[in-house]
Structure 1
Amino acid sequence: MTPLSYCTNVHPAEDLAGVLAQLDRYAEPIRRLVGVDVLGLGLWLPAVLAGELAAAPALRAKLRAELDARGLEVHTLNAFPYGGFHDEVVKHSVYRPEWTNEARLRYTADCATVLADLLPDSAVYGSISTLPLAWRTPWSPADDEVATTALTSLTTTLAGMAAANGRPIRLAVEPEPGCVLDTVADAVSWLAPRVDPRYIGLCLDTCHLAVSFADPAATVEQIYRSGLEVVKVQASAALQVEDPATGPARLALADFTEPRYLHQVRERTGSGTVLAADDLPQALTELPGRDPWRVHFHVPLHARPAAPLSATTDVLRTAIAALQSTVDDTLPHVEVETYTWSVLPETAGNGGDTALIRGIAAELRWAVANLLEPGGVR
């Protein structure tokens, strides 16, 4: 049975008390609304908290007990944001510290220590998603070597944990537009000759995949042909607009410009060239707008944006179908990751705790109905 989770990076919390409060305020009500006995969480732990938990077995046991008491379980952690993910302005800071910084290695190893004690007894493996090395600039061949050394060190740590615990924790590198590993093709090319695929693979974020205009089925084939695997899927959808130069499209897109997160935009021309802008405000002034746009803005899976905008849920469906035809047994971990609820326009679903709880529950029900086998929620 495929573990399905929702990612808690949608909730602001920087300490254990805040995380535990999330469980009561959001996660348990979502579980009840979905109507399952056990609900999966893709837990986000800021670096300071991850370090505290890694250093204190008693705190890890407390967190595990609190999860169990509420019918919640953790197969996967999101270790992409290091901290401050709900600051007033996040933008490029989410890509720091980079994989050239020892702090990134330490944070990820701490997350592995925590996850090993949170995994349910039924889990085959645990997964941790991470950033695609860094934002693309500055980056040098020397940085390649430092990052390779860091991932090799992490692999040694994960291999030792697997030998001790009997099941692996696996790192899932998440390509993202604008980063060193901008596309899945970039990630495959960089990772395949450098990493041990038993411990390091890909996080396939289907919003990022859609923004890159890559073919989902061909992308899945390329990953497995390289010897790598999809360790984790972040089930997500991007904004799409077929004719971004029109007045109604411009007005609709302007509603999605906001100051907290980066919203990279790609325009695919008739010749197949993909033009790039690093954020939506820049795209509205710099891209020609003669051809379709896709925008890195995670939108709820179950609710299509109002015309003339749409969502790339078909990319998600196709990617999951390709994985189902590729893997021998169950799918990788699937995590619904719509972290943007707090910055959605009012017309797109923003509306306080009740709307958030109902919205996430609706996304999870959509994922079961559209992506997984009947009864697949765990």
Structure 2
Amino acid sequence: MTPLSYCTNVHPAEDLDGVLAQLDRYAEPVRRLVGADVLGLGLWLPAALAAALADDVPLRGKLRAELDARGLQVYTLNAFPYGGFHDEVVKHSVYRPQWTDPRRLEYTLDCATVLADLLPDTASYGSISTLPLAWRTPWDDADDAAATTALAELTAVLDDMAGRDGRPIRLAVEPEPGCVLDRVSDAVRWLAGRVDPRYIGLCLDTCHLAVSFADPAETIAEIHRAGLSVVKVQASAALQVEEPASEAAQRALVDFTEPRYLHQVRERAGDGTVLGADDLPQALTELPGQRTWRVHFHVPLHARPAAPLSATTDVLRDTIAALRSTVDELPHLEVETYTWSVLPETAGNGGDTALIRGIAAELRWAAVQLLDQEGGVR
């Protein structure tokens, strides 16, 4: 059965006490609400906590025991944000340190050590998602070489771990608009022939995929033609608006401008060219607004935004359908709506109870719509 998880980067915990508290405050109530005996978590561990756990076997044992006691399992880690993911302003800082910085390799190795001890006995592999090398500038050939070396060092360690533990930990590189690996096609070109596909593949964030206006079936085919694989899918939906220049759309989009996260926007012109802005406020003044916009703003999977806005859940459905027709077993599936705290009040933000109910509703939606589990999360 495909592991279905929700990503805990929606919670602001930065130390072990905070992580354990969030299990009690959110994760276990979500599990109970969806009616599952066991619930998957896509755990986010900030770098300092990952390092502390990696250096302390008993501490890892404590975390594993606390998860087990609450009926929670970890198949995957989100190692994209290094730390401070709930600071007042995150924006471009989420892409630092980049893959040329030794701290990024060290953090990822720490996460691999931790995940190896958290994996349930039923897991065939563990996955760690990571950033698409860096923000697009500055980046040059020397950076390419440094990142290649870092990934080779990571691969050597992962290979040793797989030989020791009998099942691999795999890195999932996550393309994102505006980054060095902006589109999945960029990631495929960069990774193919450069990395060992047994240990490094793709994380498909379906919000990012939608924003790039890529075709899901063609994307999956391209990945497999290159000898790569999808290690992990982040089940997410982008904000979409069909007539962005209309007065109603402009008013609605202003409600989604907020200072914490970067919300890249893309507009596909009539000739197929994709125009872009690095954040929503810039898009409102810089893009022509003549055709559909897709905005990198993760919106809840189960709740359609109020008109004239919509969401790209069809891209998510099509991605899972394309994978099902291509591979024998679906990769790890992680619901990743980290934006609950910055959603407009009208879109469902409203304290702990609303967050718990919202995450549970997303998981139920994913179980039915993506995995055909009519009884809900199992």
Q: Structure 2 length as normaliser, TM-score?
A: 0.99
Q: Tell me if the contact between 2:203 and 2:234 (Cα under 8 Å) persists in the aligned partners.
A: yes
User: Separation in 2 of the partners of 1:257 and 1:285?
Assistant: 13
Q: Give 1:342 shift.
A: 0.1
Which residue pairs with 1:345 in the alignment? 344
- Deviations along 1:291-342, one digit per CA (max 9) or x if unpaired, are 11000000000000000000000000000000000002x2000000000000
Residue 182, structure 1, aligned to residue 182, structure 2: yes
Which residue pairs with 2:74 in the alignment? 74
Q: Tell me if the contact between 2:5 and 2:39 (Cα under 8 Å) persists in the aligned partners.
A: yes
Letter in 1 for 2:364: R
Q: Give 1:346 shift.
A: 0.2
Q: Give 1:373 shift.
A: 3.4
User: Separation in 2 of the partners of 1:43 and 1:212?
Assistant: 26
User: Separation in 2 of the partners of 1:134 and 1:21?
Assistant: 32
User: Separation in 1 of the partners of 2:120 and 2:62?
Assistant: 14
Which 4+ residue blocks in structure 1 deviate beyond 6 angstroms?
none
Which residue pairs with 1:121 in the alignment? 121
User: Separation in 2 of the partners of 1:269 and 1:376?
Assistant: 40
Q: Tell me if the contact between 1:2 and 1:376 (Cα under 8 Å) persists in the aligned partners.
A: no
Q: Give 1:158 shift.
A: 0.3
Q: Tell me if the contact between 1:91 and 1:261 (Cα under 8 Å) persists in the aligned partners.
A: yes
Which residue pairs with 1:300 in the alignment? 300
Matches within 5 A, 1:192-207: 192-207=192-207
User: Separation in 1 of the partners of 2:271 and 2:194?
Assistant: 34
Which residue pairs with 2:372 in the alignment? 373
Letter in 2 for 1:39: L
Letter in 2 for 1:224: H
Q: Tell me if the contact between 2:223 and 2:230 (Cα under 8 Å) persists in the aligned partners.
A: yes
User: Separation in 2 of the partners of 1:62 and 1:320?
Assistant: 35
Q: Tell me if the contact between 2:183 and 2:209 (Cα under 8 Å) persists in the aligned partners.
A: yes
User: Separation in 1 of the partners of 2:4 and 2:43?
Assistant: 12
Letter in 1 for 2:264: Q
User: Separation in 1 of the partners of 2:197 and 2:108?
Assistant: 17
List alignment gaps of at least 5 residues for structure 1.
none
User: Separation in 2 of the partners of 1:229 and 1:49?
Assistant: 29
Which residue pairs with 2:157 in the alignment? 157
Q: In structure 2, the residue corresponding to 1:136 is in which secondary structure?
A: coil
User: Separation in 1 of the partners of 2:333 and 2:187?
Assistant: 19
What CA RMSD, in Å, does the superposition of the two structures yield over aligned residues?
A: 0.7
Letter in 1 for 2:57: P
User: Separation in 2 of the partners of 1:110 and 1:224?
Assistant: 29
Q: In structure 2, the residue corresponding to 1:283 is in which secondary structure?
A: helix
- Deviations along 1:115-148, one digit per CA (max 9) or x if unpaired, are 0000000000000000000000000011000000
Which residue pairs with 1:263 in the alignment? 263
User: Separation in 1 of the partners of 2:256 and 2:239?
Assistant: 9
Letter in 1 for 2:356: I
Q: Tell me if the contact between 2:277 and 2:283 (Cα under 8 Å) persists in the aligned partners.
A: yes
Q: Give 1:193 shift.
A: 1.6
Which residue pairs with 2:309 in the alignment? 309
Q: Structure 1 length as normaliser, TM-score?
A: 0.99
User: Separation in 2 of the partners of 1:135 and 1:49?
Assistant: 24
Letter in 2 for 1:214: A
- Deviations along 1:4-41, one digit per CA (max 9) or x if unpaired, are 00000000011000000000000000000000000000
User: Separation in 1 of the partners of 2:299 and 2:371?
Assistant: 20
Which residue pairs with 2:169 in the alignment? 169
Matches within 5 A, 1:130-141: 130-141=130-141
Letter in 2 for 1:211: V
User: Separation in 2 of the partners of 1:140 and 1:373?
Assistant: 45
Q: Give 1:377 shift.
A: 3.7
Q: Give 1:376 shift.
A: 7.6
- Deviations along 1:214-233, one digit per CA (max 9) or x if unpaired, are 00110011001110000000
Q: Tell me if the contact between 1:2 and 1:377 (Cα under 8 Å) persists in the aligned partners.
A: no
Letter in 2 for 1:31: R
Which residue pairs with 1:228 in the alignment? 228
List alignment gaps of at least 5 residues for structure 2.
none
User: Separation in 1 of the partners of 2:376 and 2:213?
Assistant: 29
User: Separation in 1 of the partners of 2:37 and 2:215?
Assistant: 37
Q: In structure 2, the residue corresponding to 1:290 is in which secondary structure?
A: coil
Letter in 1 for 2:154: L
Letter in 2 for 1:373: D
Q: In structure 1, the residue corresponding to 2:159 is in which secondary structure?
A: helix
Q: Tell me if the contact between 2:364 and 2:376 (Cα under 8 Å) persists in the aligned partners.
A: no
- Deviations along 1:145-194, one digit per CA (max 9) or x if unpaired, are 00000000000000000000000000000000000000000000000120
Which residue pairs with 1:41 in the alignment? 41
Residue 359, structure 1, aligned to residue 358, structure 2: yes
Q: Tell me if the contact between 1:210 and 1:312 (Cα under 8 Å) persists in the aligned partners.
A: yes
Q: In structure 1, the residue corresponding to 2:24 is in which secondary structure?
A: helix
Which residue pairs with 2:287 in the alignment? 287
Q: In structure 2, the residue corresponding to 1:244 is in which secondary structure?
A: coil
User: Separation in 2 of the partners of 1:217 and 1:238?
Assistant: 18
User: Separation in 1 of the partners of 2:318 and 2:250?
Assistant: 29
User: Separation in 1 of the partners of 2:265 and 2:372?
Assistant: 33
- Deviations along 1:251-300, one digit per CA (max 9) or x if unpaired, are 00000000000000000011111000000000000001011100000000
Q: Give 1:206 shift.
A: 0.1
Letter in 1 for 2:348: G
Which residue pairs with 2:333 in the alignment? 334
- Deviations along 1:104-124, one digit per CA (max 9) or x if unpaired, are 000000000000000000000
Q: Give 1:211 shift.
A: 0.1
